[in-house]
Structure 1
Amino acid sequence: MSRRKNIVLISTRSAVDITAKVAKELDVPVTEMITRTFADGEIYHAFPCDIAGCDLVIIASTHDDAAHQELIDLVAGARYWNALSVNVVIPYLGYSTMERAKPDSGEIPKGITRTRQIFRARPDYVAFLDLHSESVMHAHTGEIRTRHLWSEMLAAEKIKTLQLDNLVLVSPDYGFSKRVARLAGLLDCPHTAANKDRYDVDKTIVGQLSSAVRGRTAIICDDMIRTGGSMLQTVDRCYQAGAIGVMVMATHLVLSGNARERFVEKGIGCIIGADTYPGTVSDELLQVYSVAPVIADELKSYFRLQ
């Protein structure tokens, strides 16, 4: 395939920071959308240049309803103005934990239904990063190319910079244990898993943990931290099983409500994570790495830029 040269890189309003990092990695400019907010709250968007015949790349985290709708508007607008291809990268997919509904519950599996809305806007390509479940990638009719990108290498590099000894990685449930095992392989350290059961919205019970953490520094790993409930329970289980120190790590640091304060009160002094969720930056508690290199490498491969 020939090398693509006519690439236009844009972002939704909440993904400006990560898009700038990706642009630097790609050595291409960011094309800033023209936006205005009317008095009644309606949002105006316009492409600042002719995108007909261009390969448009949209970087968008769908962390709330407005961000989700903005992405759909941009994809539909790109089709309207005859972009050659419309390509989407979603660092953080909102509602991703709602990928299925319990039988006879009446629940709406919004992870599937909302991702299907994005696909129905007819992008050519959609890449997701560290999904809670890959099932959402298949909510289309096979006409869209999808990719699941992983940040494990970057997470491993970040952990190595902390120069910690005698590590053990801990998954708060068995469902995530395979991904934790891959990360443990990169760090050449052991891993184990607790047993987590969800009994209500944002409510879980974490069972006992093996003695593999005894005498070690445990890093509890998950795909995201929202309220932190299950991780905080796992912190207790780690200390009960003999860990000498505990840290936590997740790709998507949502940290809703007073989650930060709850971790500090539990004695956690370091939370490791990525910059996928809008506004996530390093501070006295957070050790943040950027996923921009993973996104840039994928786009370089996809557009034959290297």
Structure 2
Amino acid sequence: MPVTQEPKLISGNANRPLAEAIAKRMSMHRGAKIDLCDARVERFNDGEIFVEVFENVRGEDMFVVQSTSNPANDNLMELLIISDALRRSSARRITAVIPYFGYARQDRRTKARTPISAKLVANMMVTAGIERVLTMDLHAAQIQGFFDIPVDNLYAAPIFALDIERQFAGRMDQITVVSPDVGGVARARELAKRIGAPLSIVDKRREKPGEVAEMTVIGEVKDRIAIIVDDICDTAGTLCKAAETLMGQGATEVHSYITHGVLSGPAVERIADSVMGSLVVTDTIAPTGPVAACDRIRRVPTAPMFTQAILNIWNGTSVSSLFDADTLGPIYEGHYSAA
């Protein structure tokens, strides 16, 4: 079996710009040009997905970069079929790099006769030959337990902390971090702790899915810069309503930091018409045309963190070290260093 000299990257079609950014940054780290593996991932006329890898991958440590975002089913099948192709080509190890893990909101049975789709997806990935998963901000942390293989869950909070320190330099003492619901308190508390800010919560009551009937702010936001933090923004209804509620309680500005910008349906229009000063998302999901064109939406890069995590996995060193600001700061030097 040949000795693996470098990690090998292969990408599906879900977010190729992020995969290319990871390859470019990895080339800088390794001092040698690392390209995405030469392959074709395409569809037949009837919608079936076909994969062909044009390089030898026998004995190689393969990293498949593929978010399972919209269209979730197509992107998931691409990931599974790429993994199957690599397994049948005798790759030594297959790690799925899934910046956005779709189906994560279906992590439990909320009613009778409903599926736990996140568990089903986990089973499919293992069956396809995936031996390790690298992802970011899983909607439900317990999904890691759905896998019988290692799962490394990265966090966007350190990246957001660096960005906030730069964007709000000189005003950090005015910031209050806000969780848009009770379920996201742990995530918001982590960011608040990193930047030394107080925490507030928006308590919401839903009459039915997709509609927010009533919102109450727990904590003081009067004359403060409110920063809402969450993992997913889908249609942006809850987010925009929370921003209005915070402004109504006396906040001077409202900004949002969301890991995964799903931004479906009327989301972009709602954000453009909202009272939010800005919405910051990561690039785990490739932006649509309207998202890229909206001047209220700004993206921060995840390639530096994913690149280092991939190299750490390949080298057999710690991934959790990336959660430390002292470790992450140099990785993002030139991107989001504090002012």
Asked if 1:251 corresponds to 2:259, the answer is yes
After superposition, residues 1-306 of structure 1 pair within 5 angstroms as 5-27=5-27, 28-63=34-69, 64-104=72-112, 106-140=113-147, 142=148, 144-163=149-168, 165=171, 166-279=174-287, 281=292, 283-304=294-315
Q: Is the 8 A contact 2:39 2:55 kept in 1?
A: no
- Look up the equivalent residue of 2:15 and give its one-letter code: A
Q: TM-score, normalised by structure 2?
A: 0.83
Q: Pick closer, same or farther for the CA change 1:279–1:266 going to 2, 3 Å.
A: closer
Q: Which amino acid aligns with 2:256?
A: V
Q: Structure 1 24/305 Cα, relative in aligned 2: closer, same or farther at 3 Å?
A: farther
Amino acid in structure 2 at the alignment position of 1:19 = A
Contact in 2 for aligned 1:228/1:259 (Cα 8 Å)? yes
Contact 2:8 2:62 in 1 (8 A): yes
In the TM superposition, residue 146 of structure 1 has moved relative to its aligned partner by 1.1
Measure the CA separation in 1 of the matches of 2:202 and 2:275. 20
The separation in 1 between residues aligned to 2:136 and 2:271, in whole angstroms, is 25
Structure 2: runs of 5+ lacking an equivalent: 28-33, 318-339
Supply the AA of the counterpart residue of 1:51: V
| TM-fit CA distance, 1:211 | 4.5
Task: Report the alpha carbon displacement of residue 206 of structure 1 after superposing the two structures with TM.
Answer: 4.9
Q: d(CA) in 2 for partners of 1:206 and 1:33?
A: 51
| Cα pair 1:172 1:206 within 8 Å, conserved | no
Shift of 1:110: 1.7
Number of matched pairs:
301
Amino acid at match of 2:26: L
Range moving further from structure 2, 145-154 or 205-214: 205-214
Looking at structure 1, the residues matched to 207 and 125 of structure 2 have their Cα atoms a distance apart, in angstroms, of 30
- Name the % identity: 24
> Residue type matched to 1:61 in 2?
S
Distance 1:53 1:20, change over 3 A: same
Cα distance change of structure 1 residues 172 and 75 upon mapping to structure 2, 3 Å threshold = same
Aligned partners of 2:4 and 2:59 also within 8 Å: no
Q: What is the CA–CA distance in structure 1 between the aligned matches of 2:42 and 2:181, rounded to whole Å?
A: 44
Which amino acid in structure 1 is aligned with residue 311 of structure 2? K
Contact 1:4 1:304 in 2 (8 A): no
Per-residue deviation, 1:18: 0.5
CA drift of 1:226 comes to 0.2
Contact 1:223–1:250 (Cα < 8 Å) also in 2: yes
Q: Shift in Å at residue 59 of structure 1?
A: 0.6
Q: Distance in 2 between matches of 1:32 and 1:269?
A: 42
For structure 1, list consecutive stretches of 5 or more residues without a partner in the other structure.
Answer: none
- The answer (yes or no) to whether the contact 2:228–2:255 under 8 Å persists in 1 is yes
Question: How far apart, in 1, do the equivalents of 2:83 and 2:257 lie?
Answer: 33
The 1:235/1:287 distance shift into structure 2, 3 A limit, reads same
- Contact kept? 1:4, 1:305, Cα under 8 Å: no
One-letter code aligned to 2:137: D
User: Which amino acid letter does the alignment assign opposite residue 10 of structure 1?
Assistant: I
Distance 1:70 1:35 in 2: 7
Moved more, 229-238 or 32-41: 32-41
| More displaced stretch, 17-26 vs 231-240 | 231-240
Q: Secondary structure at the match of 1:88?
A: strand
Contact 1:211/1:242 (8 A) holds in 2: no
